[in-house]
Amino acid sequence: MDVQDAEDRALIAQHRDEPTISHAGLKRILAGESPVTVWREEQGLTQRALAERAGVAPSMIHAVEKGTKSPSLETARRIAEALGIGLDDLFG
């Protein structure tokens, strides 16, 4: 995803009352940081709180954020839903 696409998506999301990510957050993702980490932190959630919302183990969130484990499609969907965003925002 390039910066222009991300900015366009953010504008569309604002009009739909969907969560958006800050410019600093976008830069973190583009620099290679885990989108799950960035979105979670932007929403002020701990790994444990996100895990509870998503109905997964905190160790799964930790592993996904560190890149040591890829979630199943169902787990990825749960994480995205818990953050109120689409799968493509996390794994696209």
The domain ranges of the chain are 3-91
Q: How many CB atoms lie within 10 A of CB 63?
A: 14
DSSP letters spanning 29-52:
HHTT--HHHHHHHHTT--HHHHHH
From the number of C-beta atoms within 10 Å of its C-beta (0-12, 13-18, 19+), residue 22 rates as exposed
Give the tokens for residue 46.
């701990």
pLDDT band at 19 (very low <50, low <70, confident <90, very high): confident
Q: Is the pLDDT confidence value at 6 over 90?
A: no
Q: How many Å from the N-terminal Cα to the C-terminal Cα in the chain?
A: 8
Q: Is the pLDDT confidence value at 76 over 90?
A: yes
Quote the pTM value: 0.79
- Local structure of residue 65 (DSSP, 8 states): H
Give the tokens for residue 9.
């998506």
Architecture of domain 3-91: Orthogonal Bundle (1.10)
